[in-house]
Amino acid sequence: MFFKSKKEKAQKAETAPVIEKKELLYRENIRTGCAPATKQEAIMAAGKMLVKTGYVEPEYAEAMLEREKTCSTFMGNGLALPHGVEAAKKRVLQSGISVQTFKEPIDWDGNPVRIVIGIAGVGDAHLDILAQIAEAMLDEEVSANIADYDADKIYKVLTGKE
């Protein structure tokens, strides 16, 4: 039968696993004052945080490295926003971000980077995430100093929450 009855749909809904909606950013996904790293190490660390928090499957971190081979995720002002290639979208379980700040700039294809925000977005959610980050970074004081903020201040800036 092609069509299911309301009773069958209700039974399926009752047995479907309930997935708890995650916050876009958790404090545990913010690491400040990180030791110097290569671009690849920073990307893998960002991906591993996303995996550990349940936002993505492990393969997504590799897809973040793959994206970097075709298009740099350097955004300017010491900021890089690594994310996976389009084909890796199926590896994103829920939208989320991870944040790393570095004491000293790391080399991102010849550009100095002190803040790396790993992004995983379900569907087109990555566009909303990018807009949210861009809005926060439009504040000149924030963009100039965010790499020196502690985790609580970064959390507040990026989420608007205490």
Active site includes 83? yes
Kind of pairing, strands 96-108 and 111-120?
antiparallel
Q: Give helix 125-137 / helix 151-159 axis angle, nearest 10°.
A: 120
Choosing from 39, 83, 91, 114, the catalytic residue is: 83
| Cα 51 to Cα 61: distance, rounded to the nearest angstrom | 8
Give which of 70, 51, 69, 63 is closest to 87, Cα–Cα.
63
Surface-to-core class of residue 20, CB atoms within 10 Å of its CB (0-12 exposed, 13-18 middle, 19+ buried):
exposed
Q: Is the distance from CB of 154 to CB of 101 less than 8 angstroms?
A: yes
| Cα 63 to Cα 44: distance, rounded to the nearest angstrom | 10
Q: Which residues are catalytic?
A: 83
